[in-house]
Amino acid sequence: MLQTALDFKSESDNLYQTLCHLADKDFEQITQFKNWTINNVIQHLHFFNWAAHLSIKDEQAFRKLTEDLKESRAADETMVRYTERNLDGVKGQNLLQLWQNLYSEMSDVLKLTEPKKRVQWFGPDMSVLSSVTARLMETWAHGLDIYDTLGIARKENDYIRNIVVLGNNTFAWSFLNRGEQAPKNKPFLQLVAPSGGIWNFNKPSTANFIAGSAAEFCQVVTQTRNIQDTSLNVKGSNAAYWMSIAQCFAGPPRTPPLPGTRYCEIK
């Protein structure tokens, strides 16, 4: 059984329980992410969950979707408009239920799928394990958009280790994606898990390291926080520069949020 599929469902369930009591009008609240509304965030998560599900179930249909999305981008249609159009503008609780039904079905399929099976994606092909890890990462990252907006401090779980591993594994990618040469030595990571345990990654070093909260490390590599808005202890030029450009998700290079622009004001 693929544990990461269960982790993906757990993170999705937690977000669902946060939203299931809201009125439809509450989904129009503006988040700190590109001024997207909560509706926009859930539409985005639902659409790319559907795309990932399609890549496993129907390769021909997924290829057709890829071409459709390329045509949309060539016509300068925004991703928000594209997803709204493909979901017929469904919003609020109806949208939330569509999302919940699909991620539950996906988890049931993914947990019994061979983790090493190759599936298509909008970039290079990937394994099923990589696909579901990406869905967990994106749900966690965009979930923070919503928790921040609602003024809720999310209770973290140790399955964010999946995101820590993804962030560490995409060290070189963060540089290469910008046309830069990646340093040879990854910084030593010594991170505190939500449960209080210590997670160590890479070769120990006292001159090139990042130490502190695993959740805050995840926030930086998913670009939901600027490194200056965390309490991470960063030592060494390689570690400092990585934390200023880190990007664990696919796509063109993105700029992390400016200091002080992404935060949670507890209500």
Residue 257 lies in a domain: no
Contacts of 100 (CB under 8 A, 6+ apart): 12, 16
Query: Do 129 and 167 lie in a common domain?
Result: no
- 4 backbone φψ class: left, alpha, beta (φ>0; ψ -120 to 50): alpha
Query: CA dihedral defined by 166, 168, 172, 178, rounded to 10 degrees?
Result: 70
What is the Cα–Cα distance from 182 to 7, expressed in whole angstroms? Answer: 31
Instruction: Tell me, yes or no, whether 251 lies in a domain.
Output: no
- The predicted structure's pLDDT at residue 211: 98
Domain membership of residue 261 (yes or no) is no
Tell me: do 65 and 180 sit in the same domain: no
> How do beta strands 233-235 and 209-213 pair?
antiparallel
Six-digit token string for 98: 């569509």
Count the residues in the chain: 267
Q: Are 79 and 144 in a shared domain?
A: yes
pLDDT confidence of residue 123: 85
Residues 104 and 23 in one domain: yes
Q: Is the pTM of this model over 0.85?
A: yes
Number of structural domains (the chain) is 2
- Tell me the one-letter amino acid at 242: W
Low-confidence ranges of the chain (pLDDT < 50): none
pLDDT at 1: 72
In this structure, is residue 253 part of a structural domain?
no
Buried b (16+ CB within 10 A) or exposed e, 9-38: bebbebbbeebeebeeebbeeebbbeebbb
Pair (103, 138) in one structural domain:
yes
Give the domain range for residue 168.
161-245
Identify the pLDDT of residue 114: 94
Q: For residue 84, what is the domain's CATH number?
A: 1.20.120.450
